[in-house]
Structure 1
Amino acid sequence: MQVFSKRSEFLAAARARRQGSKGMMVQGRNRHDDDGVRVGFTCSKKVGNAVARNRAKRRLREVARIVLASHGKPGWDYVLIGRATETAARPFEQLQSDLVYALKKIHSK
């Protein structure tokens, strides 16, 4: 799993498929190559101050590490967007099931 951080990569994923869940918003884009799974993380200032945003992103990174290994498809870019109050407070198991649900919906479109 590679992490991307360039604005152009985030914008390309933003134009693709998206699926919301209670704990996060997920955007997915098929790059049409088999170069592995790439992922990006973001949280807006609506999530809170820097401490709250970083905590939410840490949780998203860990969920992505666990779930994308088995449910992510090679050649896809994913962006995980944290939600205000939900991403940091939601139980970890439910956050994992939220990501699995969102990935299934994105891949079925």
Structure 2
Amino acid sequence: MTISVLTRRADFLAANRGLRNARPGFVLLTRPNDGHGVRYGITVTKKIGNAVVRNRMKRRFRELLRAALPEHGLPDHDHVLIGREGGIERDFAQMGRELGYALEAAREGKGDPARRPRRGNKQKPR
């Protein structure tokens, strides 16, 4: 099974419309990708910390995905991990188990309930 990396913004946006499984250290998004094989992407926003912290988190996520996706990844799906605030301090083995749970839930078609839509950037009239 070949595993490739998502690079296009459109692929990340499409994954955001897929199934969402939130865990304490990350959110896993999965979405079918029309026969492109197993692909993964990682996102860590600037809210998490400085560049050193964000890069460390991305390295940890990359290693978790490389270990889990060959066996537990959904075939012909995109997998996107979004870093959350507590993800950098969490135990690596615990995060691996949580990723396994999230992938199993995604395989069964179970996800978290839909979030309410965000409010726009509309200014209040004066």
**TM-score w.r.t. structure 1 length?**
0.93
Letter in 2 for 1:79: V
Deviation string, structure 1 residues 63-89 (Cα, Å, up to 9, x no partner): 0000111100220100001111x2211
Aligned partner of residue 47 in structure 2, secondary structure: helix
Q: How many angstroms apart in 1 are the aligned matches of 2:18 and 2:25?
A: 20
Q: Which structure: greater helix fraction?
A: 1
Shift in Å, 1:45: 1.1
**TM-score w.r.t. structure 2 length?**
0.81
Letter in 1 for 2:18: A
Letter in 1 for 2:30: G
Using the aligned pairs only, state the percent identity. Answer: 44
> What stretches of structure 1 move > 4 A for 4+ residues in a row?
none
- Name the counterpart of 1:28: 30
Q: Which has the higher contact order (CA 8 A, sep 6+)?
A: 1
Point out where structure 1 has 5 or more consecutive residues left out of the alignment. none
Aligned partner of residue 80 in structure 1, secondary structure: strand
- Name the counterpart of 1:44: 45
| 2:66 aligned with 1:62 | no
Residue 98 and residue 13 in structure 1: after superposition, are their counterparts in 2 closer, same or farther (change >3 A)?
A: same
Deviation string, structure 1 residues 23-71 (Cα, Å, up to 9, x no partner): 21000001242x3210000001111011111111100000000011110
